[in-house]
Structure 1
Amino acid sequence: MSYPYPPLHEYHQLGDVFVGGIASHSFIVSSPIDFTRNPPPPSSDELFTVTKNYQHILAFAFAVKEINENPWILPNITLGFHIHDSCFNAKWTYRETMQVISTPKKFAPNYKCDIQNNSLAVIGGLDPQISLLVATVLDIYKIPQLIYGSAPLMNDKTPGLPFYKTTPSETLQYMGILQLLLHFKWTWIGLLYVDDENGERFLQSMSELFSQHGICFSFIEKSPKSTVMTDIPEKFQRGLNIHDKVMGRKANVCLYYGESYSVIYLRWLPVLADLDNMTWKGKVSIMTAQMELNAFIYQRIWGTDLIHGTLSFTIHSSDRPGFQQFVKARNPSRIKEDGFIKDFWRHSFDCEFPDEVLVKGKGNICTGEEKLESLPGPFFEMSMTGHSYNIYNAVYALAHALNAMFSSRLKHEKVNRGGLKQDNQEWWQLHHFLRGISFNNSADDEVSFDHNGELVSGFDIINWIFLSNHSFQRVKVGRMDPQVPSDQGFTIDEDAIIWDTWFNQTRPLSVCTQSCHPGYRKKIKEGEPFCCYDCTPCLEGKISDQKDMDDCKKCADNQYPNKKHNLCIPKDISFLSYEEPLGVSFAFFALSFSLITALILGIFLKHHNTPIVKANNRSLTYSLLISLFFCFLCALLFIGPPKKVTCLLRQAAFGIIFSVAVSCVLSKTLTVILAFMATKPGSRVRKWVGNRLAHSIVLSCSLIQAGICAGWLATSPPFPDIDMHSTVQEIILGCNEGSVANFYCVLSYMGFLAVISFTVAFLARKLPDSFNEAKFITFSMLVFCSVWLSFVPTYLSTKGKYMVAVEIFSILASSVGLLGCIFSPKCYIILFRPELNNKKHMIRKNT
C-alpha cells in the first residue's frame, strides 16, 4: 500500500540492522479536515520548524557513525536508521511510527515485506504525549522504545508500556528544585506550568513537597499546551493575564514547568501583554530539564535578554569530541538522505533555496555555505545539549544491548558477512539485554538503567547568560548527583551565577515577609498562605535564637532569657553567703550581740549578790541571757550554702531556743505578780512563790515546743533544695521546710507565748519600779510581737536569700528587743549608778 503523500521529513541510512527514530522537528498549522476530499499535504507555509531540535537528529546520526567506526561494538555489522518527524501531532505521530516499523516507501502494517529494513527498536519521542502515542503502537509488536525526553504519566489506560528512559528520575529533579530554593531561601515563588497531565502531576508533587519545607506559591498559572500562535485574540487575553500575574506579584522567583517548546510561549507572553515592553525584568526564572531555549523564525528580532540570568535544570551532558566538526560539515547540497536539513536551513537562515525562490518569488537565496556557528543560541547550538546527549546514549545503549545479544547467540546462530540474519531474530528478546546494560560511553560517563527503566544520572544546573553582542552561553553553576550521599548530592557555586541586571548582581530575595529576627516568632496572618506572617516578640521566659522560628522555646531550667529574648543566659547560684555584704553584716551583728549578751551575763555573774541581780529570780535571769546568747548564734545557721545538717537544725533550734527565752520572760513576769500577791496578809499564793514554779513554767513551755519540733523532724524534716523557678535569673539554693504547716505551727506557738507574756506584763506594769521588771518586759514583748507580726507578710512576699534574710533580721531584732529593754536599765544601774544598787534604796523607794 502506498502513501497518499510522502512523509514531511525523513532521514534514512542503510545498514545491516536498523534503529528507528521519532523526532519532533516541526509544527503543522493547517485548517480543520472536513472529510469531503482527500486532504492535501501541508505546504511549507504551514510548517513552523523548531530549528534547535535538528541537533537531536544530528546526535542520532553522529552516534551511529561512531559505532560503525568502532571495531569493538557490533563487529562486522553496520547500524542503519530511519528517522521520521512526529510534527508534535497525534495523527502524524501514529503515521510515522507505523512507517518506522514498516518497509521504507511502503505502508503495510503487520506485514514484513522487506524484513531487513524493519527497525529493531525506536528512539523517541521528545515530549510525553508523543512518547505515549509511539508506545501504543510499539507495544503491539513488543519493540523496545527508548525515550529521550519526559516520560508520559502512566495510568490505568497505559499499563506496562515498555519504556526505557534516558532521562534521570523526575523525583531527583523535584529534590534539586527544592534544594535550590532552600539554598537561596526563596520561600515565596510563582509557578507557571503547562496545561496537561504532566503539569498537573508536577503541581501536585511540588505543592506537597514545598509545603513540608516552608515554601508556598504567590500564584499558580497554566500555560496553553499549543505553542503555535493560532487563535490570537483568546491567547492575547490569556497571555496578558499570565504576564500581569507574574509581573504584578512581589514574588521575585518564578518556576516554569513545561515541554521542550514552552520557552517559545514564554517569549510570547511579554509581546502579548505589551508590544512595547517585552520584559521579564526583576524576576528570576527557574526552568525544568524538559524545557529548551528555542525560538521560531519570527522571534529572531526579540531580545534574548528577556531570560538573561535564568537558572535551568538540564540533563547532564558532556560535549563529545568531533561532534562540532560533524555538525560544521553539514551542507544541504551534499547530504541527500537527510530530509530535515532543508527546512532547518530555510528557517534558521531565513532564506529560500533557488528552486523555491522561483516558485514563491520572494526571500533570500540559501547558498548552503552559511555557517551554523553563526546562529543565535535559541536557534541552534554547536555543543551537544541534554536531549541530544540522551539520544547519543540511547543509540549506544541499543548497540551494546545488540552486541550482548549477538554474543550470546554466536554458538547457535549462523553468522554471515552481513551479520546475523534478522529473520531468525526475536527482537522482543532485546528487552532482557537492555535492562541489564551498563557501560561507559566515549565521554567516560556511566550509562545504566535502574529497576524503573530510568537512566542512573543526574542534573546540571545551568545559568543562561546573554552578552551584549546577542551571543548565548550556558554556564554550569551546580549539580544534582544521585550517586553520592544525599547530603552531598546538591552543589551550587553561587559566585558563578550572573543574575538579571535588575538585581545589580546581588542575591535576589523572594519572600512574602521579611525574616523574623531572633527574639521574635512567626504569627500566621489570617486568610494568608503560611509563608505570609507577622513577627511577634517572644513571651516572657522564652527565646528564639534563629530566624523565622515558628514558636519560641523555653530555656533550660538552669538558664533564663536575655532582654532581647534571643539567648539563654546561665542562672546565678543564689544563697545567703558569708562572701556578700548582707551575709557578712548579719554574721557581724549576730556575733556582736552574742558577745554583748555574754558580757552582760558576765556582769550579772560578777554582781550576783547585788539586790538588782537578785530581784525577780536570779536563775531565770541567767537562763534568759543564756537563751538570748544562743538566739543570736542561731542566726548563723541560716547563712551559707544549705546542707543537710543546717537544714535540719536551724528552724528547730530557732523555735526551741526562742521558746525558752519567751518562757523565761513569762516566768519572770508571773514571779513578780505572785511575789506582790504573797505580801498580802493571809494570802495562799505564798506556797507558789519560789524557783520551783518558775522552773516548771520554763521547762513545760519549752518541752511543748520541743515536742512540736520533734514531730516535725520525724514526719517531714527540712532538706536542702534547689529552686529553679521562683526567680527568673537565679537558681535558689535553700532549705525546703518539708512541712509548711509545721513551720507555722512553731511560729504560732512562739507567738502564743509572747502574747501571754505581753498581757501579763501589761497588767503588772504599775507595780513598784524597784522590784518590778514588768514595765520593761512589756516594752520588750511589744517589740517582739511587732517584729514577728511584720515577719509573716514580709516573709511570704520575698524569695530566695532575701526570705532567709528576713528571718535572720527578725531573729536578731526580736532578740535585741528583749536584751535591750530588759537588761539595759539594770546594766546602767550596775555600771554607772552603783549607789542605787542597794537594798536600802529599794526599800525606801518601795515605801
Structure 2
Amino acid sequence: MGLIISSLTLSMNLALSPVCKLNLKPTLEDYKYYKHGDIIIGGIFTVYYHMDEFPSVTYEKIMRCAGLVTVNYKYFLNFLFAIEEVNRNPYILPNVTLGYHVYDSCSKANKAVKSTIQILSGPGATVPNYYCTGEDNIAGFIGDLLSVTTVPIAQLLNMYGYTQNLKQKRMPESSEEPRGAVEEQCDRCLPTSYKNTGYRPSVNFELPYCSGKENVTELPVLLKPDGSPVAYNALMSMTYALHALHIFLGREVFSNYLKKSTYRHKLNKYLKELEYMDQSGMIKYYDKRGEFNIIFHIYNWKLIENKYANYIFVGSFTPWAPPDKQLLINSSRIFWKNNKIPRSQCSEYCPPGSRKLKNDKKPICCYDCVKCPDGEISNTTDSENCIKCLDTEWSSSKRNQCFPKLEEFLSFSDGLSIALSSIAILFWTISILILGIFVSHKDSAIVKANNKTLSFILLISLSLCFLCVFLFIGRPVDRTCKLRQIVFGIIFSISVSSVLAKTIMVYMAFRISRPGNRWKKIIGIKVSNSIVVVASSIEVIISIIWLYLSPPYLEQDTHSYHRKVIIQCNEGSQVGFFAVLGYLFVLAAVSFTVAYLARTLPDRFNEAKYITFSMLVFCSVWITMVPSYLSTKGKNMVAVEIFSILTSSAGLLGFIFFPKCYIILINPQLNIKMRIHMEQ
C-alpha cells in the first residue's frame, strides 16, 4: 500500500498536532461527505475514474480527480438514499441514527487508502490508531467498486477488525456497440425512487450536459435504469446485521456497545449469517461464496446521438433457478449495430478441414487455424482436434471427408493378369502336347536315350509350374498366401532336380562308355530317381520349417499409396522366402556347372548343351528377378514373380524339349540313325 501503519502511543493533544499526521500527497479536493450519527458508516466510492498531477503555487505537485462517471455517481446516490430510508424506518435500529463518512477513491489505490485512514481518524485527520474527535463509532465500510482499490482497503480494515461490504458483479462486454450490462434488480433504489420519496440530495459534483441549475432527480442522465444497486444492498444488509446484533444484545446492552465501540468485531459474524426479507418479499442472504443472492436484470445499451445511452430491458438472470431457467433473454428486443450480431472472439472461425491451434503470443481466447494433416479430417466449424480417418480411408483435399481407399491386387480382370494367364495356359498346353508326344514315342531312340522317366517327371512338373501361376492371381487370402510360394518352390525344385539328374546321367553315360570304368557298377542303380527325390526333399523340409516358424499371411498395405490399399501376401519370414529361392538357385547352378563340363560330349549325347542354355536362362531370370521384386509394390511385384516363373519354366521347356520334338516330328531320320547307332 505504500504506507506503514504503526501504533502511536501519544496523547490526544499530541495526536492533534501536525507532527502526528501521516505526510500524504495532497489532493486538490478530497470530495468528502460527512453526516453525524450514532453509528457511522464509512464509504469509499469511485466516482471519478482517474487522477492528474499538476503543480501548485508552491511548486508542489497536487493530485486532482478527473473524469466523472455518472453511473458510479448513482451508486453514491443509492447509498445516501439507503441511509435516509433506514433513519426514517422506526423498526430498524430504533432510537439509533445512521451517519456516514464518504470519500471518492478516484480509482487509485493510494487515494483509497488515504481516504480510509481519514475516515478512521476522523474528519480531515490522518492519524493511525486514533479517532481524533473522541468518538470511534464507525460500524463498517461500504466500497469500493474496483478490485484495485478494494483489496488495499480490505488489508487495512482487516488490521482493525472492521467489516467491509460491497461487491459488484458485471458481465463481460463486447467491444462493439451496442453493449450489454447485467445489473442487480432493485427497483426501489433506482434514481427514479428519489423523486417518489421526495429525496433531494445536495452534492458538489459537476455532471456533463448540465448547467448546474437542474435538480439532480430531474436530470435525464440519472433517470435511466442503469447502474447497479450494490451500494443500496450492501448498506441495507449491514443495517440488518446491526439490527440482528441489536436484538441479540438488547437495547440497553447495545447502547453500551455503541459507547465502547466493540461491536464492530461481532458485526462480520452476523453479516455472514444474515437472512432477511426485503419490502418486495424476497429473501436476502449471502451464499457460501459470499455472493449476495439477487436477480440480475440485463439491459441493452443503445447509443443516441453519440451522447446518451438508452437502456432497454432484454432479460434477467436468477442464480437459484433451475439451470434451464436461470437465463431468460428476449432476443427480439436486442439492438445490434448494423443489425448484425457481433462475434465475441478475436479469431476467425476455423472452417471444416482445419482445427484450432493455441497461439502463445495472443490472448487465451485467440487461436490460429491450421489445416488437418493428410489422413485426418474435421467436419465441424472451430474443431478442437482433427479426426483420423481409418487406415482403409483417405482424406479429401479439403480435409473434411474420408473416402474408402481402392483395393489393389492382381485381379483376374486386370489386363496384365489376362496377358500372363494367357501365356501360362499357352505354355501349359504346349507342355501337355510335348508330354503326349513323348508318351506316344516312348520307345523311340531319342526318348530312351535321354531317360524317358526323367523327361516325363520334368514335363509334368513344368506343366504344374505353369498352373501354379494362378495361385498368384486374384484377391489374396490366408490360404493362398501360404500355398503359393510353397507349391511353386516344391514343384520347381522337382523340375530343377530332374534337370540336374539328367545332366548327371549324361555325364555318367559318357564315362561308362570307356573300358574298365568303375561307373558300370553304379549305373544299374536308379541314380536319377534318387537324385530327384533327395534334391526335392530338401526343398520340402525348408518349406515345412518356414510354415512352422513364420508362415506367410494376408496383409493390407495402407501407407504406400494415398488413395489405394494394397492387398498382398506378407511372406512372414524373409529368410524362409529367400531360402526357398536360394536353394532353387543352388540346384540350377550345380546343373549349369555339370552341363557345362559335359558340353564337349559326342553329338549323340548333345542334350548337355541344351541343359547348359536352359540353366543359363534360369539363373539369369532369377538373378534379375530379386532386385525387381524388392523394388516394386502391389500387383506389379506379383507380376514380376509370375513373369519369372513363366520365363524360367518356358526356358527349360524350350531348350530341353523343343529340339527333341523337332527330331521326332520333323526329322525322324535322325531318330532312326540314333536307334541303329544304339543297337550297334
TM-score, normalisation: structure 1: 0.60
The one-letter amino acid of 1:807's match is E
Cα distance, 1:428 vs. partner? 3.0
Hey, what does 2:21 align to over in structure 1? none
CA distance in 2, matches of 1:488, 1:732: 57
Hey, what does 1:371 align to over in structure 2? 218
Please, which of 146, 151, 164 is the counterpart of residue 165 of structure 2? 146
- Cα–Cα, structure 1 residues 167 and 667, in superposed 2: closer, same or farther, change >3 Å? same
- Indicate the SS of the match to 1:351: coil
Matched, 1:56 2:70: no
Contact persistence 2:454–2:502 (CA under 8 A): yes
The one-letter amino acid of 1:401's match is A
Hey, what does 1:260 align to over in structure 2? none
Matched, 1:607 2:474: no
Cα distance, 1:383 vs. partner? 1.4
The one-letter amino acid of 1:82's match is Y
CA distance in 2, matches of 1:593, 1:705: 25
Matched, 1:390 2:257: no
- Indicate the SS of the match to 1:428: helix
Hey, what does 2:143 align to over in structure 1? 124
CA distance in 2, matches of 1:444, 1:805: 91
Hey, what does 1:661 align to over in structure 2? 495
- Cα–Cα, structure 1 residues 455 and 681, in superposed 2: closer, same or farther, change >3 Å? same
- Indicate the SS of the match to 1:82: strand
For 1:77-96, what aligned pairs fall within 5 Å after superposition?
80-82=98-100, 84-86=102-104, 88=106, 89=111, 94-96=117-119
Please, which of 207, 211, 218 is the counterpart of residue 351 of structure 1? 211
**Structure 1 stretches lacking a partner, 5+ long:** 37-41, 148-165, 181-283, 286-307, 353-365
Please, which of 193, 210, 233 is the counterpart of residue 326 of structure 1? 193
Cα distance, 1:56 vs. partner? 1.9
Cα distance, 1:620 vs. partner? 0.8
For 1:673-712, what aligned pairs fall within 5 Å after superposition?
673-679=507-513, 685-689=519-523, 692-712=526-546
Hey, what does 1:111 align to over in structure 2? 134
1:22-67 deviations in Å (ceiling 9; x for gaps): 455578999759799xxxxx9xx99986554442233224445666
1:618-672 deviations in Å (ceiling 9; x for gaps): 1111111121133223333434555555444433332222121112122223333
Cα distance, 1:464 vs. partner? 4.4
Hey, what does 2:177 align to over in structure 1? 309
Cα distance, 1:390 vs. partner? 0.7
1:323-376 deviations in Å (ceiling 9; x for gaps): 353234588xx84xx341xx34x6456435xxxxxxxxxxxxx26499312x4x
CA distance in 2, matches of 1:638, 1:695: 30
- Cα–Cα, structure 1 residues 47 and 468, in superposed 2: closer, same or farther, change >3 Å? closer
The one-letter amino acid of 1:351's match is S
CA distance in 2, matches of 1:350, 1:481: 37
CA distance in 2, matches of 1:664, 1:123: 111
Contact persistence 1:7–1:96 (CA under 8 A): no
Hey, what does 1:839 align to over in structure 2? 672
Please, which of 434, 441, 444 is the counterpart of residue 271 of structure 2? 434
- Indicate the SS of the match to 2:656: helix
CA distance in 2, matches of 1:439, 1:743: 90
CA distance in 1, matches of 2:98, 2:355: 68
Contact persistence 1:576–1:583 (CA under 8 A): yes
Q: Which has the bigger relative contact order, CA under 8 A and spacing at least 6? A: 1
Cα distance, 1:756 vs. partner? 3.2
- Cα–Cα, structure 1 residues 64 and 636, in superposed 2: closer, same or farther, change >3 Å? same
The one-letter amino acid of 1:372's match is L
1:715-747 deviations in Å (ceiling 9; x for gaps): 444444555545555554544434323332332
CA distance in 2, matches of 1:132, 1:828: 114
- Indicate the SS of the match to 2:185: coil
Contact persistence 1:93–1:133 (CA under 8 A): no
For 1:523-538, what aligned pairs fall within 5 Å after superposition?
none
Cα distance, 1:7 vs. partner? 9.6
RMSD: 5.6
CA distance in 2, matches of 1:459, 1:135: 26
Please, which of 579, 587, 592 is the counterpart of residue 753 of structure 1? 587
Hey, what does 1:401 align to over in structure 2? 241
- Indicate the SS of the match to 2:187: coil
Matched, 1:468 2:328: no
1:369-417 deviations in Å (ceiling 9; x for gaps): 99312x4xxxx4531402xx111211231243234434545xxx3589x
For 1:40-51, what aligned pairs fall within 5 Å after superposition?
51=70
The one-letter amino acid of 1:638's match is F
The one-letter amino acid of 2:240's match is H
- Cα–Cα, structure 1 residues 804 and 167, in superposed 2: closer, same or farther, change >3 Å? same
Q: Give the number of aligned pairs.
A: 641
Contact persistence 1:543–1:568 (CA under 8 A): yes
Is the deviation greater in 26-35 or in 774-783?
26-35
Contact persistence 1:62–1:323 (CA under 8 A): no
- Cα–Cα, structure 1 residues 68 and 111, in superposed 2: closer, same or farther, change >3 Å? closer
**Structure 2 stretches lacking a partner, 5+ long:** 1-11, 18-28
- Cα–Cα, structure 1 residues 563 and 108, in superposed 2: closer, same or farther, change >3 Å? closer
Cα distance, 1:146 vs. partner? 1.6
Hey, what does 1:229 align to over in structure 2? none
The one-letter amino acid of 2:77's match is L
CA distance in 2, matches of 1:408, 1:475: 44
Contact persistence 1:610–1:837 (CA under 8 A): no
The one-letter amino acid of 1:470's match is K
The one-letter amino acid of 2:452's match is R
The one-letter amino acid of 1:323's match is L
1:279-318 deviations in Å (ceiling 9; x for gaps): xxxxx84xxxxxxxxxxxxxxxxxxxxxx72757x56322
- Indicate the SS of the match to 1:316: strand
The one-letter amino acid of 1:657's match is I
Cα distance, 1:815 vs. partner? 1.6
